[in-house]
Structure 1
Amino acid sequence: MADTSMTTALPEADAGRRNMTLLIQLRWLAVGGQLATIGVVIGLMGIALPLAPLLAAVAALIIVNIASLGLLGRGRAVTNIELTAALLVDVAVLAWQLHHSGGLSNPFASLFLLQVVIGAILLSPRSSWTIVGATLTALAILSIEPTPLLLPQRYAADPLGLYLQGSLVCFVLIAVLLVAFVTRISRNLRDRDAALAAARQRAAEEDHIVRMGLLASGAAHELGTPLSTLSVLIGDWRRAPKLAKNEELQEDLAEMDAAVQRCKTIVSGILMSAGEARGVAPRLTTMRAFLTDIVEDSRAGRRPGTVEFNDVFGADVAIVSDPALRQVIGNVLDNAAEVSPDWIGVTASRDGDMAVIEIADRGPGFSEEMLEHFGQPYRSTKGRPGGGLGLFLLVNVLRKLGGGASVANRDEGGARVRILLPISAIARPEGEAP
């Protein structure tokens, strides 16, 4: 089965960053609202407030927001602990402001409910209860000798009316912020669910590739041996002296041999779809002949000079050529020819035990997404359903042989695919006849 832990982690990490961004935005609103409230209470209502501790709390919120922006700038996931710490700071700052502005008699003490609701939505259950405990602790502390508000004479006659007016303003503020907050959170959750669904779909598609590989391996084991036996027997019968003179029987044997070879080709195709590195009917050849044949096949049907082969491999090496390896390299050449029909450059060189094959083109190059997700299935620039298996099969085949592949965009335009193939993995065993 495909591992979905990484694919599901990415949407969760994105949700954490979005939630922190939302807290930052709410905190900026709180800074603006607190400054406006201080101005209205002092300027219009004529109520004296201790400006130093209240403005210090506003400054603390600004510092926390700047630090939170730096946290987002790291580019990594925002954890539940970091979100909890940010909310605990908000609770502490609100408690500090209320302590210096009347304590529990201040109608804005109900704002603690907003912190509890935010914690219940954003945090894990344990962290949510931590926020509840912090708010209860803050309420208990506020009941111990808070700084009283000195009301002007016009408010002293009816302090309850002033409290009710403040409670109404606080209710409206909480309602507006909760609607805005919950709406944003709901959108974040929908986006996260959509990302998770896409990630699971991608994991299911990759799991389908794994099942194809299992099917191909089973087909190879079940069909490879009997097909090879039939091929040998048919060859013996065709060379048998008693049957060689029977033209009608020779035609039947030829048809039988063609049918067996067709079955072998089908099995090889299934193996190729699974990325198997060892198909049927390997061929004894040399590295230079192997690469030359691939290049000549690519040149067939194209204008002369469009496929340039630069051979700096050095001393030739006897190898066992596998059809799967030949096909995946041919697929890379076909892809290059599709985007760059006027020129393809193939360079063969050697780096120690590694054969290095570079295929360059003058096409549009790889997108950033292709470069980032190179080698993953269904990553294609052609936009066809089910496309994007060519490079995946290339990487898979080379990985089974102990090699690898990489892609890059050329400075002069176009793309380059670099193939590293261990010579020892395909070298012809000593003593085996060509």
Structure 2
Amino acid sequence: MALAQAADPVNSITSAEPVAPSHIDTANRKNLELLIQLRWMAVLGQVITIAVVHFGLRIALPLEPMGAVLGALLALNALSHLWLQKRLQVNSQALFLAVLLDVAALTVQLYFSGGATNPFTALYLLQIALAAVLLPGAGAWLIVAATFIAFLGLIGINQPLAVEPPASLLRLHIMGMFVCFVLGAVLLVWFISRMTRNLRERDTYLAELKQRAAEEDHIVRLGLLASGAAHELGTPLAAVSVILGDWRRMPEISQHPEMMQELREMQAAIRRCKSILSGILLSAGEARGEAPSVTTLHRFLDEIARDWSDGRPAGTLQYHAGSGALGEDVTIVSDQALKQVVTNLLDNAYEVSPGWIRLNAERRGDMLRIEVLDLGPGFSPEMLENFGKPYSSTKARRGAGLGLFLVTNVIRKFGGRVSAHNREAGGATVTVELPLAALMYREKDRG
């Protein structure tokens, strides 16, 4: 098929380049949102604890400085919300700073409430666990060092709690340890599981991106081969075209209508081969000096249906589109890659259903939807499961299955997708959906 080097559409690839960093940033944003939720819970828990200890147990606490720490946490949450609303980047350094500030706030609160004797020092372990999940190795170890230094400092520097009688201090300590244990266990399970899920989604996406890069490298190698083949085939095709022209002028042939009809069909086939080769070279970048061809959406699809139908029995292709389905006509770039995608799908359908093929085209909002229907045997379950993967085909010949693989990757470059399913009435449907913005003509496309 003439689709091998269609991996560089005229005006659609550049918008889909730096996808990996943005997805990693999305995972970090989700984790920062979880840290904000945890901080809200910490503020609420501290307010309740301070109220119970100071007013319920009548143990004097310095309310003003401890209230100032709570105010700082509220301000930090407000700044974090503002950060997310402004869509600023959230990297590992931002997460490290957020965890470090939480450690600092916990340390100050412990300083005013007994220091290392406070059972809530166990919450340092929660901060360490969060750092181990969220941060790279160096950042996590820095948090460990910070908590280690803070704990050692609280042993010698703190404001002791004035508990009367002193014997009740042990009972309060045990109660505090129990509350801290329950709180730490619940928060660890809840937040660590959610953060791990965010990171697992990121890792899955990166694995898919790596697989996509390997597939695109495969396409590049196929494109180089196709471009070389196009150059190699150009000369013999030109020679055959000249020979056919000479034959048409020979009296022995020109006087036989059947032979003249066969010659016309052969010349039409030669012209189509030349057009396909020109498309390969254009997609490969051999015609960079030419301005892109500008057309309209209606005309573009009409030309695809008309060009494919030439040389095939009348009535084979049932083309259904028009202004009713496509809406208002728009100016687009006549992209050779997309033409080859649709032609490839029609050729595949023609192999299994030579008597009837249907081509549907419609516009759904900002998306263009193209369907190719046939009356063939349909796709096997294995084919549907591996749809779009290279060499996944029911055909016995070598190299089969590359057509749909290339179709999938080209449409993905446009920011669209390809899907397939078997029809209940028999046959199969392959659907292409892509954003019209990938084809829209812009002034800069004039070159």
Please state whether the residue corresponding to 2:60 is helix, strand or coil.
coil
- Distance in 2 of aligned mates of 1:70 and 1:212: 48
Measure how far apart 1:14 and its partner are. 0.5
Counterpart code for 1:68: S
* Residues 195 and 149 of structure 1: CA distance in aligned 2, closer, same or farther (over 3 Å): same
Would you say 1:27 and 2:72 are equivalent positions? no
- Distance in 1 of aligned mates of 2:417 and 2:260: 44
* Residues 98 and 197 of structure 1: CA distance in aligned 2, closer, same or farther (over 3 Å): same
Would you say 1:45 and 2:70 are equivalent positions? no
Would you say 1:117 and 2:117 are equivalent positions? no
Please state whether the residue corresponding to 1:143 is helix, strand or coil.
helix
Match of 1:224 among 214, 220, 234: 234
Residue 148 of structure 1 corresponds to which residue in structure 2? 160
Residue 379 of structure 1 corresponds to which residue in structure 2? 416
- Distance in 2 of aligned mates of 1:134 and 1:115: 10
Residue 427 of structure 1 corresponds to which residue in structure 2? none
- Distance in 1 of aligned mates of 2:223 and 2:73: 56
Please state whether the residue corresponding to 2:441 is helix, strand or coil.
strand
Partners of 1:102 and 1:147 within 8 A in 2: yes
Counterpart code for 1:118: L
Counterpart code for 2:136: S
Please give the residue correspondences for 1:413-428 in structure 2 after superposition, counting only pairs within 5 Å: 420-421=445-446
Would you say 1:157 and 2:143 are equivalent positions? no
Please give the residue correspondences for 1:202-241 in structure 2 after superposition, counting only pairs within 5 Å: 210=220, 213-239=223-249
Residue 353 of structure 1 corresponds to which residue in structure 2? none
| Number of equivalences | 343
Counterpart code for 1:172: V
Measure how far apart 1:122 and its partner are. 0.2
Match of 2:108 among 89, 92, 96: 96
Partners of 1:8 and 1:196 within 8 A in 2: yes
Residue 191 of structure 2 corresponds to which residue in structure 1? 181
Partners of 1:206 and 1:377 within 8 A in 2: no
- Distance in 2 of aligned mates of 1:381 and 1:8: 22
Measure how far apart 1:260 and its partner are. 5.2
Counterpart code for 2:432: G
Measure how far apart 1:210 and its partner are. 4.5
Residue 283 of structure 2 corresponds to which residue in structure 1? 276
Please give the residue correspondences for 1:323-334 in structure 2 after superposition, counting only pairs within 5 Å: none
Q: Which runs of 5+ in 2 are unaligned?
A: 1-6, 288-292, 309-319, 333-361, 369-410, 421-428
- Distance in 1 of aligned mates of 2:331 and 2:216: 31
Measure how far apart 1:183 and its partner are. 1.8
Would you say 1:259 and 2:304 are equivalent positions? no
Residue 320 of structure 1 corresponds to which residue in structure 2? none
- Distance in 2 of aligned mates of 1:387 and 1:134: 54
Measure how far apart 1:8 and its partner are. 2.0
Return 135-144 or 247-256, whichever deviates more: 247-256
Please give the residue correspondences for 1:301-320 in structure 2 after superposition, counting only pairs within 5 Å: none
Please state whether the residue corresponding to 1:387 is helix, strand or coil.
strand
Taking only the aligned residue pairs, the percentage that are identical comes to: 38
Would you say 1:171 and 2:171 are equivalent positions? no
* Residues 90 and 336 of structure 1: CA distance in aligned 2, closer, same or farther (over 3 Å): farther
Partners of 1:103 and 1:148 within 8 A in 2: yes
Q: Which runs of 5+ in 1 are unaligned?
A: 281-286, 303-322, 325-333, 348-361, 369-373, 396-403, 407-417, 423-434
TM-score, with normalisation over the residues of structure 2?
0.63
Residue 58 of structure 1 corresponds to which residue in structure 2? 70
Give the structure, 1 or 2, with the largest relative contact order (CA under 8 Å, sep 6 or more): 2
Structure 1 or 2, whichever has the larger Rg, is 1
Measure how far apart 1:22 and its partner are. 0.4
Counterpart code for 1:61: L
TM-score, with normalisation over the residues of structure 1?
0.65
Return 63-72 or 253-262, whichever deviates more: 253-262
Partners of 2:253 and 2:259 within 8 A in 1: no
- Distance in 2 of aligned mates of 1:338 and 1:194: 41
Partners of 1:336 and 1:344 within 8 A in 2: no
- Distance in 2 of aligned mates of 1:81 and 1:291: 49
- Distance in 2 of aligned mates of 1:88 and 1:135: 9
Measure how far apart 1:80 and its partner are. 0.6
